[in-house]
Structure 1
Amino acid sequence: MATELTRSPSYRIGRNSGPVNRVVEPQDRPEERKCVDFIAINYAPEVTGIAPYVTDITRRLAARGWSVRVITGYPHYPQWRLDGDMADYTSTVVDQGVIVVRVPHSIPEGTALVPRSRMELEFGLRAIVAHLRPEAVTVMASPPLIASALVMLRRKIGRRTLSPMGVWVHDLYSQAVTEAAAGGTLSRTLVGRLEKFALCSADEVAVVHPRFGEIIVDRLGVDPSVVTHVRNWTQVRHEPRAPRDMARAELGIPTDAIVAVHAGNMGQKQGLENLVDSARLVAGSTSAAARKVHLYLVGDGNQRRHLEDRARGCPDITFVDSLPDDRFHLMLSAADVLVVNEKPGVVEMSLPSKLTTYFSYGIPVVAAVSDDGITAAEVRRSHAGVVVPAGDPAALLSTIAQIATDTTAALTMGEAGERYAEEVLGADAAVERFEMWLHKLSHHASVRA
């Protein structure tokens, strides 16, 4: 196992069953409210998960003339420790036109339920007293679930009517605790009720995948008329893919290796033991192509130390710290295959945000995920890669070797991914849709009036 140490990037500074809605411009609405407050614990300089989307949409809305304010926490994900020093993050700054208000909270060492709940509770309580602007619509990015529920609770018991409130759902907690078998029956029941309360109390709900909409309507009882699909988008603005051999020369990667890259969080949900076990099969493989495979895990997370221990002594896997944008661009450009991996049993809890970036690079994707899950469906819809069974390291290794050595198939999948990124995941269309959702949300103020 090799380890490359680099500096992480930083930017200091109803129930009626029915289909998920398309956004429809409300008719006869009052003069536009171009004012929005986001409550989101994740924001730049975090470079993976929800933070890039929150950061990108708020900056784009500010550029479109919106007054945008973000109430956020201290950067800590995916490494689960503070990025930099506390002094690096003043309480309020202006970031590309966005007013960023940071509120203090504890940072747990991992994703254990009790310490993570404490962090979300602290963030939620402090977000409540951060004085949401009465003239603004409020958008809560979920997770964190507890913070969303607290804001909704305050709204229900408060003496004054707060402005319209929407929840922007990236992950489903109730699905997560069920699929990850986290906690007992009591904790799963509690999480389900909390999520139901938060979502059913919202004026509008935006989901990043249609299946999320079906789940919250069918299982949590959310009114389908308030649910809107706002797909994630390719927010990475990168140069065209660098020539592979040039990128490898810059990074010191052999030109004859078959390079498979996994980028992003190294957490429990990802189940990256599968990649480590695949790397251990390389040396003994009967396939000459498979013996050339080298896996790179780029990023951080609460499982990284465990994965490094598991990979100790294996020469065919390298762990790479989170990279600055230019080095990250080279790392993906150097790849033959990009890998998305999920723990067996993960089906509907989330859609990996890395896919939007992967597709934009024109490199084939190998997805080691549940065959009937959201991730598998997205990869198949894009025609940008292949799906192999989750938790099968031999199948993962052989598929990486097969795709990397089939030049025609790799080119076809890569081109399909680029088309999908441009035609389906384009930022302009997604931001238009998000802005229309905000207008729909603001309409609730006139309805109350």
Structure 2
Amino acid sequence: MRIRFAGKRSLPRAPRRSLSGRRKLCFPRGRFPVKLVFHSIFYAPELTGVARYTAALCEHLAAAGHRVSVVCPPPYFPQWKVQEPYRGWKYATERIRDVKVRRCPIWVPRQPAGIRRLLYGASFALSSIPCLLAESVSADWVFVIEPSFLNAIPALAIAALTGARTWLHVQDFEVDLAFSMRHLRQSRWRRFAFAMESWLMRRFDVVSSISGSMVHHLHVKSVDPARTWLFPNWVDLNEICPLEDTAGARRRFGISPDSIVALFSGSLGAKQAIDVLVDAAGVLRGEAKNVEVVICGEGPGLERARVMARNYANVRFLPLQPPEQLNGLLNAADIHVLTQDSRASKFVMPSKLLGMMASGRPVVATAEPDSEVGRIVAQCGIIVPHGNAAALARAIAHLAGEPEKRKALGERARAVCAASLSAGKILAAFEQELARRTACAAEPAIDPEDRGARS
């Protein structure tokens, strides 16, 4: 059955099935540029993680001549509160750097755990259906950004209706995290949840993720390797770069020019395990009195960290910084610190690591040696066991007393980014892959009967 839509379409006609059941996509061979719709529960002007990378990708594609629209809620992360002047219950449309952004209502809990976390994701997945349908009518690709994985359900259904191709990009394995972090505890639902996740993932035309180990985890979930692709996060080496003079940045943030600064910057949630860094700061009061621990971020874990550090004079808290201040903040540090909860480390690849490395500073991270984070940080810093505050304090104190080693490790960190993780290289590779997948989609499907007749 052919579905007809009023108005101009980038796909000449809706998809149809061959006799073998394989879908035929009927847009012109190699059609490029294309129209893309992104379905994401995080987006600009949010400052951290998924929102920042999704916005950068969309803006890059729009600047390259593609038609890009985003269906997302109003900004609320990492504060877990809808930010002014936006409204959580209101539909709205705006344009940000040539990207059409359609905001949909969302319910945001103050403490996102358990059933509240499910309801929060479901509220956006449901409210976004009208906007997603309207945008997808003329789309060539529908991109779903995980989290939230619940967005996969309406996206797949609508793409099947309109004939768009589908691409799932996994920043976090949300279902794995929900159970490993005990946001969801009912074990009787575990098997069903993973089976449903695998079934939905296998319905996407392309499934990508941000590290080699996470792509392998897609294969464990029975996603066809031919449909998977490694699409790592990146860093703009022009925006984040070492500064010769950091005194001005330190004055701006109220940091002493004589301190050795150990900095954590990012969202403060359960998986960041920031309490380990606060405990390490307590140890450092006796071992390295010239070290100042700076925690820059917001999130559900902030208040607990403040309470834990209330008697520590060597701990300073800063709010999240806007993009124009980020390079100065990262350069104000002598050492970057990356903490993770061991239960989450297998299912995420912290994007903040790239900015740390690009600033030309060494990194101390809690990680397993054979993990993705562990392998990267081993080249440009020190890894310590998860949850071990004493080991974290020793590593920070060691680097605090070794300025030449800090310099050498920082230069190596920057070189690793330049070699394979720069924005130019990653985004160019993505455009090539998008063009290839678009051209492959335009190849006519040949039924076995047709192939036999031609021979």
TM range, normalised to the smaller chain? 0.7 to 0.9
Provide the residue aligned with 2:207 in structure 1: 205
Provide the residue aligned with 2:187 in structure 1: 185
Distance in 1 (alpha carbons) for counterparts of 2:345 and 2:253: 35
Partner SS for 2:347: coil
Distance 1:117 1:178, change over 3 A: closer
1:1-150 aligned within 5 A: 29-86=29-86, 91-130=92-131, 131=134, 132-150=136-154
Distance 1:59 1:264, change over 3 A: same
CA contact (8 A) 1:166 1:441 kept: no
Deviation (angstroms), 1:447: 4.7
Distance 1:444 1:58, change over 3 A: same
Deviation (angstroms), 1:439: 2.4
The one of 155, 180, 193 equivalent to 1:151 is 155
* 1:436 equivalent in alignment to 2:432: yes
Distance in 1 (alpha carbons) for counterparts of 2:436 and 2:112: 35
Distance in 1 (alpha carbons) for counterparts of 2:63 and 2:33: 15
One-letter amino acid of the counterpart of residue 351, structure 2: S
One-letter amino acid of the counterpart of residue 259, structure 1: V
User: Which sits farther off after the overlay, 93-102 or 306-315?
Assistant: 306-315
Deviation (angstroms), 1:237: 4.7
User: Which sits farther off after the overlay, 184-193 or 327-336?
Assistant: 184-193
CA contact (8 A) 1:251 1:330 kept: no
CA contact (8 A) 2:362 2:409 kept: yes
Deviation (angstroms), 1:394: 1.2
Distance in 2 (alpha carbons) for counterparts of 1:106 and 1:178: 22
Q: TM-score with structure 1 length normalisation?
A: 0.86
1:350-369 aligned within 5 A: 350-369=348-367
In our comparison, the structure showing a higher alpha carbon Rg is 2
Provide the residue aligned with 1:373 in structure 2: 371
Structure of greater relative contact order (alpha carbons < 8 Å, 6+ residues apart): 1
Provide the residue aligned with 1:176 in structure 2: 177
CA contact (8 A) 1:347 1:372 kept: no
One-letter amino acid of the counterpart of residue 81, structure 2: R
- Which deviations, in whole Å up to 9, do the C-alpha atoms of 1:282-304 show, x marking residues without a partner? 23x2x3xx122211110101111
Deviation (angstroms), 1:95: 1.1
Distance 1:135 1:234, change over 3 A: same
Partner SS for 1:222: coil
Deviation (angstroms), 1:149: 2.7
Distance in 1 (alpha carbons) for counterparts of 2:314 and 2:150: 41
Distance in 2 (alpha carbons) for counterparts of 1:312 and 1:194: 45
Partner SS for 1:86: coil
Provide the residue aligned with 1:315 in structure 2: 313
One-letter amino acid of the counterpart of residue 149, structure 1: I
Deviation (angstroms), 1:29: 3.7
One-letter amino acid of the counterpart of residue 430, structure 1: I
Partner SS for 1:359: helix
Deviation (angstroms), 1:416: 1.0
Partner SS for 2:222: coil
Q: Which ranges of structure 1 fall in alignment gaps of 5 or more residues?
A: 1-27
One-letter amino acid of the counterpart of residue 257, structure 1: S
CA contact (8 A) 1:350 1:374 kept: no
Provide the residue aligned with 2:25 in structure 1: none
Provide the residue aligned with 1:272 in structure 2: 274
Distance in 1 (alpha carbons) for counterparts of 2:402 and 2:162: 61
Distance in 2 (alpha carbons) for counterparts of 1:206 and 1:337: 32
One-letter amino acid of the counterpart of residue 400, structure 1: I
CA contact (8 A) 1:346 1:370 kept: no
CA contact (8 A) 2:105 2:128 kept: no
Partner SS for 1:335: coil
Distance 1:236 1:113, change over 3 A: farther
The one of 227, 247, 250 equivalent to 1:248 is 250
Distance 1:155 1:327, change over 3 A: closer
Partner SS for 1:400: helix
Partner SS for 1:348: helix
Provide the residue aligned with 1:167 in structure 2: 168
Partner SS for 2:415: helix
Distance 1:239 1:225, change over 3 A: closer
The one of 381, 384, 388 equivalent to 2:384 is 388
Task: State the identity %.
Answer: 25
One-letter amino acid of the counterpart of residue 146, structure 1: L
Partner SS for 2:49: coil
One-letter amino acid of the counterpart of residue 145, structure 2: A
CA contact (8 A) 2:240 2:358 kept: no
Deviation (angstroms), 1:198: 2.4
**Residues matched between the structures, number:** 412
* 1:282 equivalent in alignment to 2:284: yes
Runs ≥4 residues deviating over 6 A: none
Distance 1:217 1:87, change over 3 A: closer
One-letter amino acid of the counterpart of residue 409, structure 2: M
- Which deviations, in whole Å up to 9, do the C-alpha atoms of 1:97-155 show, x marking residues without a partner? 11111111111113213122112112112332212133421111111001113322455
Distance 1:122 1:447, change over 3 A: farther
CA contact (8 A) 1:108 1:119 kept: yes
CA contact (8 A) 1:37 1:133 kept: no
1:296-311 aligned within 5 A: 296-311=294-309
CA contact (8 A) 1:206 1:227 kept: yes
CA contact (8 A) 1:363 1:410 kept: yes
Distance in 2 (alpha carbons) for counterparts of 1:133 and 1:404: 57
Partner SS for 2:128: helix
CA contact (8 A) 2:33 2:65 kept: no
Distance 1:440 1:189, change over 3 A: farther
* 1:224 equivalent in alignment to 2:228: no
Distance 1:126 1:162, change over 3 A: farther
RMSD: 2.2
Partner SS for 2:102: strand
Deviation (angstroms), 1:239: 6.1
Distance in 2 (alpha carbons) for counterparts of 1:197 and 1:237: 41
* 1:397 equivalent in alignment to 2:390: no
Deviation (angstroms), 1:178: 4.2
Deviation (angstroms), 1:204: 0.7
Deviation (angstroms), 1:445: 4.3
CA contact (8 A) 1:296 1:319 kept: yes
